[in-house]
Amino acid sequence: MICDAHIHIGYYPRKGYGRPFYYSPRRIVGILDRCGVDEFIVSSTCAQMEEIGMADIVREARELKRLAGNRAHAFFWLSGHLYDEDPAMKWLKTGLFEGIKLHEGETPWMKCRKKALRKILSVASERDLPVMVHAGEDVGCRPYTLAKVAREFPNVRFNFAHCRPMDEMAKVVADCSNVWTDTAYMAIDEFPRLLNYDWHGRLMFGTDLPVWQAHEKVGLTKRYREYVRVLSELGLEAVSDFAFSNFMASPGGGGGGNV
């Protein structure tokens, strides 16, 4: 069973193209079908484009669900302009979205929008919605910094995506029982390092599909299969699927540059 905790649809830079390329739901689902992916968490990079509004994101998610059904767990990428358009978060009423995606590098929630961030995470806690947060070496995105938010909202399940810096992420996962992480956009030769740490059953397989094509001319299906092969060879596949299931599980049963 293959569960991918971190992929995208939407507009994103592509090497050799002068403007963002549209990775449609049909294109992405086709790759996942060819690679035998059973379930996946997906958010739309369209959220980063000021000219694209909430109705467009909802329409795109509806198309995705039509193509992939319950295999697709859509997370609403909540960028600053989408929150300003809809501070009541009415998109939740569509029933299309099972979680929230936040990116401090795209919208400085902790630095400039603390009140809005607390409101968003309070809603996530009340509705049992998991939250994906971009993590990394960027300002405001380091695991130690994000851990302050995780401790403030202990009932929210967080995915601090990208598992980096790895040493720091391992310590946060050990200290915060509500924090998971994923392997999205990790260099394949870094995968063996994962075996040096105890991830407490909260390490998820993630690819960041289709972001590779922003930096290199590579076939997405080929690269995806490489990710899966290395994960399997290291014996991490079963652990990853278990972590994914627990990240998406709610008490009632069922789920409520890189990106």
* CB count in 10 Å sphere of residue 142: 19
Beta pairing partners, 72: 40
Is 256 among the domain residues?
Answer: no
Our CA angle for 192, 43, 249, nearest 5°, is 70
The pLDDT tens digits of the residues spanning 172-205 come to 999 999 999 999 999 999 999 999 999 999 999 9
Residue 226 is given by DSSP the state H
Is 253 among the domain residues?
Answer: no
Is 193 among the domain residues?
Answer: yes
Number of domains in the chain: 1
Are 179 and 170 in contact by the 8 Å Cβ rule? The answer is no
Range of the domain at 126: 3-248
Report the CATH number at residue 230. Answer: 3.20.20.140
Is 228 among the domain residues?
Answer: yes
Distance, C-alpha 181 to centroid of its chain: 9
- pTM, rounded to two decimals: 0.94
Is 158 among the domain residues?
Answer: yes
Is 86 among the domain residues?
Answer: yes
Is 258 among the domain residues?
Answer: no
Q: How confident is the model at residue 1 (pLDDT cuts 50, 70, 90)?
A: confident
Mean pLDDT, the chain, as a whole number?
Answer: 94
Q: How confident is the model at residue 236 (pLDDT cuts 50, 70, 90)?
A: confident
pLDDT score of 258: 58
Is 254 among the domain residues?
Answer: no
Q: Specify the range with the lowest mean pLDDT, choosing from 38-47, 156-165, 250-259.
A: 250-259
